[in-house]
């Protein structure tokens, strides 16, 4: 977690994250982590891009309709795009 606005939410999210990481490790699932700057750079070419630019690029990359995308959904998809660009492990032949 890089920042938080609400301590209670941050603690709950941290607990959930810990359980997810433990479950993934126990099944030998590879884990990749990226900073917001790395994700924004991979998707928009600009590490300081605003959320709206990330949303628009996610829509463009995936050829989605031009509707308002929820911030969390756009962030998750952007992280997946970043991961696919950075890891040969995930690339299919």
Name the more confident of 68 and 89: 68
Are 44 and 77 within one domain? yes
Are 71 and 54 within one domain? yes
Are 49 and 16 within one domain? no
Are 11 and 53 within one domain? no
Q: Tell me the mean pLDDT in the region 43-62.
A: 94
Are 16 and 44 within one domain? no
Look up the pTM and report it. 0.76
Listing DSSP states for 19-56 in one string gives HHHHHHHHTT-------HHHHHHHHHS-TT--HHHHHH
Domain count across the chain: 2
Name the more confident of 11 and 27: 27
Domain that holds residue 50: 33-93
- Rounded CA-CA distance 27/58 in Å is 30
Instruction: Indicate if the pLDDT at residue 2 is higher than 80.
Output: no
């Amino acid at each position: 977690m890089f920042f938080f606005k609400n301590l209670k939410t941050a603690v709950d999210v941290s607990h959930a994250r810990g359980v997810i990481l433990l479950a993934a490790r126990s099944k030998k699932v590879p884990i990749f982590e990226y900073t917001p700057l790395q994700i924004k750079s991979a998707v928009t070419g600009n590490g300081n891009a605003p959320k709206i630019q990330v949303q628009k690029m996610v829509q463009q990359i995936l050829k989605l309709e031009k509707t308002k995308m929820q911030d969390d959904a756009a962030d998750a998809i952007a992280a997946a795009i970043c991961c696919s660009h950075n890891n040969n492990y995930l690339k299919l032949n």
